[in-house]
Amino acid sequence: MKGFLRQDGRKGIRNITAVVYLVECAHHVAREIVFPFRDQQVHLIGFPGCYPNSYAYRMVRQLCTHPNVGAALLVSLGCEGFNRAALLEEIRASGRPADAIVIQQEGGTRKTIAEGHRWIRAALEQLAATPTTEMGVSDLIIGTVCGGSDATSGITANPAVGRAFDRLIAEGAGAIFEETGELIGCEAIMAARAARPELAPELLACVDKAARYYTALGHGSFAPGNAEGGLTTQEEKSMGAYCKSGNSPIDGILKPGDVPDRGGLYLLDVVPDGEVRWGFPNISDVQEIGELIACGSHITLFTTGRGSVVGSAISPVIKICANPETYRRLSDDMDINAGKILEGEATLEEVGNEIYAKILAVAAGAQTASEALGHQECSIVYKSFEPTGPACMPA
Amino acid sequence: MNTSSPQLLRLHEADNVLTVLSTLEPGDALHLGQTVLTVGKRLPIGHKVAARPIAAGEKICKYGVPIGSAVCAIAEGEHVHTHNIKSDYLPTFERENQHSYFQPTP
């Protein structure tokens, strides 16, 4: 397959122009800048808060310098706390064309939108000449998330993703699974899969952190629809979610924005460090997808039993439906029907291979269902993390 | 996958619950090994039934690991759900108890 070669050496599967609002007050203007170009790989991302936050800064920087992104336009109101000068400098240092428009300096909504359109037209011309390069499975990073889970998720779609993960990892790809709050109850069996002895206590510690965090909030990562779909407890949901990780050894723990520098299997720790602040770690599935992408995911595998329809800005989302009844209702939104396993029409291995083949097709340019439907969700919230510890990453 | 009957899935030999593979309606026959029971309440796809009688306080086992504890005695073939089992970690939130969850702290 062919990839887009960035000046920093990273290889992308899409050639996206990111338009970034740096505070909610600039959101409308940024959306209007994107609108006429929304079918030309121009994506809207941003952070709504006015108060600066180093996690949010890192998220936005990692998205703007993601291998799928070729250029970035920052849209600032002018008075918000986001450090736009530093961000602009870092994006430009990665070799990507980047600029910032400040609404207060540009002369308001209309003039900023017009200037944004002019900038995008020039950027699209520049991006059309992006060099391509040969890309293999070992160049890919694939993330996985489950959302709208039911009791079929953990017996069809999730273990099928696990099969695809094992195959990708054996071929040198990076694979990331996440949501430590949805691994509560699985910590011991997960720690037994640590690739290095010093990683095992770290795996236990990050699930313990998640349990403490959710206990303080008085609410686990468990939605009413999960129970309607047959799940009863956090542990049961966790075991189902855990199957997505497959059977390979666990090579490391990432925090949002950490990009693995080699292949292997990684757990993404999404629960903030320190005291409980700013509410739930991730307020919906959309933040989790964004964090997987900030860790370099070229594609995200999203499994659902109840039936989520979300996609994402920056990286394609492949939706794998676990429940055959849901698939019949929402088939337009789904890429893969893993529910057929329950109806005896395919085995886990066959669906795992189907997922693997879909990853290669999407990496080569095929649109996913959510891409074709125009889904470009992005949401970044306040969080705080300490730097990733040395025991968490391979030496 | 070790299927104990075409209706129900046993995910691990140590499990005391089985997963319903396609929605069962009231009056349908429920095949539990040699035993044949009649479905009382609707059992949607993915829900669980007891593979054998389970005592109050006993661990509920699925995928070969505990997923919670029985809060009362559960009969063979009975629906195993949020009304008769509880988490050993975090309480389960359902829409029905949403009101109490959002009640202001006195």
Is there a single domain that holds both residue A283 and residue A331? Answer: yes
Is there a single domain that holds both residue A302 and residue A186? Answer: yes
Is there a single domain that holds both residue A125 and residue A227? Answer: no
Flag if A186 and B65 touch (Cβ within 8 Å).
Answer: yes
pLDDT at residue B89, as a whole number:
83
d(CA B8, CA A19): 50
* Residue for token pair 């999407």: A362
CA A194, distance to chain mean position in Å, is 23
Flag if B65 and A235 touch (Cβ within 8 Å).
Answer: yes
Is there a single domain that holds both residue A198 and residue A128? Answer: no
Is there a single domain that holds both residue A356 and residue A226? Answer: yes
Is there a single domain that holds both residue A119 and residue A154? Answer: no
Q: What residues does each domain of chain B span?
A: 2-94
pLDDT at residue A219, as a whole number:
78
The chain-wide mean pLDDT, for chain B, equals 84
The answer to whether A23 and A49 have CB atoms below 8 angstroms apart is yes
pLDDT at residue A311, as a whole number:
98
Structure tokens at A10: 């990273």
d(CA A30, CA A117): 10
pLDDT at residue B34, as a whole number:
86
Flag if B22 and A189 touch (Cβ within 8 Å).
Answer: no
d(CA B16, CA B57): 13
Is there a single domain that holds both residue A155 and residue A276? Answer: yes
The answer on pLDDT for B27 being more than 80 is yes
The answer to whether A32 and A96 have CB atoms below 8 angstroms apart is no
Cβ-based contacts of B95 with chain A (< 8 Å): 224
pLDDT at residue B4, as a whole number:
42
Structure tokens at A177: 């699974």
Is there a single domain that holds both residue A174 and residue A152? Answer: yes
Q: How far is A225 from chain B (nearest CA, A)?
A: 8
> What is the per-residue pLDDT across A164-219, written as a single tens digit (0 to 9) for each?
999 999 999 999 999 898 898 889 999 999 999 999 999 999 999 999 998 888 87
Flag if A219 and B11 touch (Cβ within 8 Å).
Answer: no
Bridge partners (DSSP) of residue A101 are A75
Half-sphere exposure of A136 (CA within 13 A, CB side): 6
Is there a single domain that holds both residue A157 and residue A111? Answer: no
Nearest to A120 by CA among A31, A3, A24, A26: A31
Q: Which of A133, A154, A169 is the last residue of a domain?
A: A133
Using DSSP's 3-state secondary structure scheme, residue A77 falls into coil
Cβ-based contacts of A223 with chain B (< 8 Å): 93
Q: Which of A80, A106, A133 is the last residue of a domain?
A: A133
Q: How far is A72 from chain B (nearest CA, A)?
A: 41
> What is the per-residue pLDDT across A30-41, written as a single tens digit (0 to 9) for each?
999 999 999 999
ipTM: 0.81
Q: Which of A133, A156, A182 is the last residue of a domain?
A: A133
> What single-letter amino acid sits at A379?
S
pLDDT at residue B94, as a whole number:
60
The answer on pLDDT for B9 being more than 50 is yes
Burial string for A139-178 (b: 16+ CB within 10 Å, else e) reads bbbbbbbbbbbbbbbbbbbbbbbbbbbbbbbeeebbbbbb
**What number does CATH give the domain B2-94?**
2.30.130.110
The count of structural domains within chain A is 2
The answer on pLDDT for B102 being more than 80 is no
Neighbours of A209 (CB within 10 A): 18
pLDDT at residue A102, as a whole number:
98
Low-confidence ranges of chain A (pLDDT < 70): none
pLDDT at residue B93, as a whole number:
62
Is there a single domain that holds both residue A247 and residue A376? Answer: yes
Is there a single domain that holds both residue A304 and residue A173? Answer: yes
Cβ-based contacts of A150 with chain B (< 8 Å): 46
User: Which range of residues forms the domain containing residue A74?
Assistant: 2-133
Cβ-based contacts of B86 with chain A (< 8 Å): 233
pLDDT at residue A310, as a whole number:
97
Is there a single domain that holds both residue A221 and residue A326? Answer: yes
> What is the per-residue pLDDT across B37-65, written as a single tens digit (0 to 9) for each?
999 999 999 999 999 999 999 999 999 88
